[in-house]
Amino acid sequence: MLFAGFLWGILFYFIAFMLSLWLYRSYSPMYKNIIFIIFISGVGHFFGTYLYSFLPSDSIDQFFPGANPFFSGVGTDFIENIVWYVRDWLTGDSLLGTFYFFSAFAFLGSVLWYLLFLRCSQFLNIENQKRIFPALVIICWPSFFLFTAGMGKDSLSFFLIPLTLLLWDRFFYQRKNRLVTLTVLALSVVFMAMIRPYLLIIFVGAYYFSTFKGLRELSFFRVVGIVILIPVVLYVMRWVVITQGGLQDLQLMNIAQHAVLQQSRLDTGTSFSILSSNPYILLLMLPYSFFMNLVMPLFFFSNNVSGILASIENVFLVWLLYDFWRQRRLFKIIKSRFSLIRIAFYFFLIGMMFLGLINTNLGLAMRQKSMYVPAFLVVAMLTWLYKKQRGIR
C-alpha cells in the first residue's frame, strides 16, 4: 500500500508540475533558474506530505475513515464528500496516495502565489533577473511544505485563494477568455465557500478596503453596492458563526465567552497563554493574540525540533515584517499601481485578525498562516524588489 501511495504521488505531482510550467510560461518567459525552484518546491511538498502522513491529524482520524458521498453541510462534511470521491475514483484505500492528491494542489498553489507576484510586478517594471530570491521565498516557504499537506481544507484553500485572485484579474483587467474565466472563477468561489465559508468574508473585506478612498469619493453606485452588500455579509457571518461556531446569540459578551471556551479547547501542545479569562480583557488583548499567531514560536515556546525549525522561519518572517515597515512609504507608491497589490495586502491583514481571534495553539497557527501569510510574502517581495530597483538601502 505504501508503494501504491508513492506511485499515486508521482503521478499527481507530475501532472501538477507540468501544469505549473504551462501556467508559468503564460505569465513570464521560461527561465531555467525559476523552473528549478519550482522543481525544488515540488520535492519539498512531496516529502513534506510523506512526513505529514505520520503525524496525528483530522485527515487520518476523521476525513479518511469518515469519507462518504452524502452531502450534509460545508466545511468538514464537504471535505469528507471530496475524500470519498477521490478514494472511490482514484486512490482506493491508499492513505498516502490520498494525501498526495490533495498536497499536489498545494504545490500548484505555491506556484500560483508566485504567478500573482509576477503579475503584480509587471506594473512596477521590475527586471526579470531580480525575481529569483522572491521565487525562493514565495514558492519554497518551508512550513508550507508540511502544513498544506492535509486532506481538503488546508491544501485546497492554499490553492483556491491565489487562483481566485488571478482569475479575478484575468476577468476584470486582462479580459481574456471571459466566459471560460468566469466559469472557473465561479467554481473556485463556490468550492472556497464550501470548504471555508469565512474566506469569502475576508475576500469581500479585502476588496472593499482596497477600493475605499474616503467618504467624499464614494460614488452613488458604490454606496448602493455597500448598502446591498452589508446585509449579505452580515447574514453570511451570522450563518458561519451559528452553524460552525455553535453560537445562538451574537452579542459581544457571548462571542468573547465563546472565544475563551475555544481557546481552552485548543490549549494543547505548544500554546501561548492569555493572561486573563475575562472576555472583555480578552478583546483588549487581541493585538497580542494576532502577534503571537503570526510570528511565534521564536525559540521560546519551542518544545521540540519542529518548534525550533519554525522559530528559524519566524525569525526571517520578523525580518520581512520589519523591512516592510521601514519601507512603508514605498508600499504606498506601489499599491497605487495595481489593485491586486492592495487586495493582497488587506487579505493578509483581515485574515491575520480573523484567524487569530480564538486561537492560542501555535501548531494550529502554523497551519492557519498558510492562508494569509503568502499574501504578505507577495506584497513584501514586491516592496523589497522595488526598493532594490531604485537603489534604496
Amino acid (one-letter) located at 279: P
Q: Measuring CA to CA, how many Å separate 20 from each of 16, 80, 110, 334, 376?
A: 6, 27, 9, 27, 22
Question: Which span out of 53-67, 221-235, 236-250, 359-373 was modeled with the highest average pLDDT?
Answer: 53-67
The confidence score (pLDDT) of residue 130 equals 63
pLDDT at residue 2 above 70?
yes
Rounded Cα distance, 19 and 25, in Å: 10
pLDDT class for 267, splitting at 50, 70, 90? very low
- The closest alpha carbon to 384, from 324, 311, 317, 301, belongs to 324
The confidence score (pLDDT) of residue 240 equals 56
pTM of this prediction?
0.86
Residue of 293 and 158 predicted with greater confidence: 158
User: Which of 87-91, 107-111, 121-125, 362-366 has the least mean pLDDT?
Assistant: 362-366
Residue of 301 and 340 predicted with greater confidence: 340
The confidence score (pLDDT) of residue 19 equals 95
Do residues 139 and 115 touch, judged by C-beta distance below 8 A? no
Mean pLDDT (whole number) for 155-174: 91
The DSSP result for 147-189, as a single string, is HT-STTHHHHHHHHHHHHHHHHHIIIII--SHHHHHHHHHHHH
pLDDT at residue 32 above 50?
yes
The confidence score (pLDDT) of residue 150 equals 82
Mean pLDDT of the chain: 80
Mean pLDDT (whole number) for 143-163: 88
Segments of 42-146 assigned E as strands = none
The confidence score (pLDDT) of residue 268 equals 43
| Alpha carbon 63 to its chain's center | 20
The confidence score (pLDDT) of residue 243 equals 54
Mean pLDDT (whole number) for 164-169: 93
The DSSP result for 18-34, as a single string, is HHHHHHHHHHS---HHH
pLDDT digits (tens, 9 = 90+) for 46-67: 999 999 888 877 788 788 888 8
pLDDT class for 280, splitting at 50, 70, 90? low
Q: What are the residue boundaries of the structural domains of the chain, listed by start?
A: 1-196, 197-393
Mean pLDDT (whole number) for 23-34: 83
pLDDT class for 265, splitting at 50, 70, 90? very low
The confidence score (pLDDT) of residue 21 equals 92
Rounded Cα distance, 367 and 312, in Å: 16
pLDDT at residue 9 above 70?
yes
pLDDT digits (tens, 9 = 90+) for 359-369: 556 666 777 88
pLDDT at residue 26 above 80?
yes
The confidence score (pLDDT) of residue 337 equals 85
What's the burial of 148, exposed, middle or buried (CB within 10 Å: 0-12/13-18/19+)? Answer: buried
Rounded Cα distance, 143 and 309, in Å: 9
The confidence score (pLDDT) of residue 276 equals 47
Cell numbers standing for residue 241: 458563526
